[in-house]
Structure 1
């Protein structure tokens, strides 16, 4: 079974899975349903793990109308810059194996 670079290090948690989805789609807003579909998690799980990421300014939420929530990594945030660099380096390391 394929394990992503973050899963290999941190295990399979919903927050890691959602964060990796946002890293893969960096620079693009992705709606909650899209994250749920891509990660295989339920809408409620995705919404639950996004809340602390939003509160810590890791993720920016933009609402489209009353129902649609979209999310993007806050690439101005220093923590996000470190996570993105770490993720790129980790992915490159595991691609060599």
Structure 2
């Protein structure tokens, strides 16, 4: 079991956030996140919205219908989350 899941439980939002952290320097699509995490497209869409609203994730349109997502590496909250993720993984592995 993943160290974060041990502490916070397994939720769709945690799964999406973990996926974005593991690909923090890459842009991705809803369908890409869904495929990598095993979550449905609608679940990813639902749980990524609060991450965007909090400034942790940046959404960029690509054309008229495609949206890309990436961690907001300028955000202090994002930096804290990544630091926590890295530290907790080191401590609990």
The verdict on a shared fold, with TM-score over 0.5 as the criterion, is: yes
| Secondary structure in 2 matching 1:87 | helix
Unpaired runs of 5+ residues, structure 1, are none
2:38: which partner in 1? Answer: 40
Give TM-score scaled by structure 2 length: 0.94
Q: Distance in 1 between matches of 2:92 and 2:22?
A: 15
> Root-mean-square deviation (CA), in Å?
0.9
2:83: which partner in 1? Answer: 85
Q: Segments of 4+ in structure 1 off by > 6 A?
A: none
1:23: which partner in 2? Answer: 21
Give TM-score scaled by structure 1 length: 0.91
Number of residue pairs matched by the alignment: 93
Q: Distance in 2 between matches of 1:5 and 1:23?
A: 14
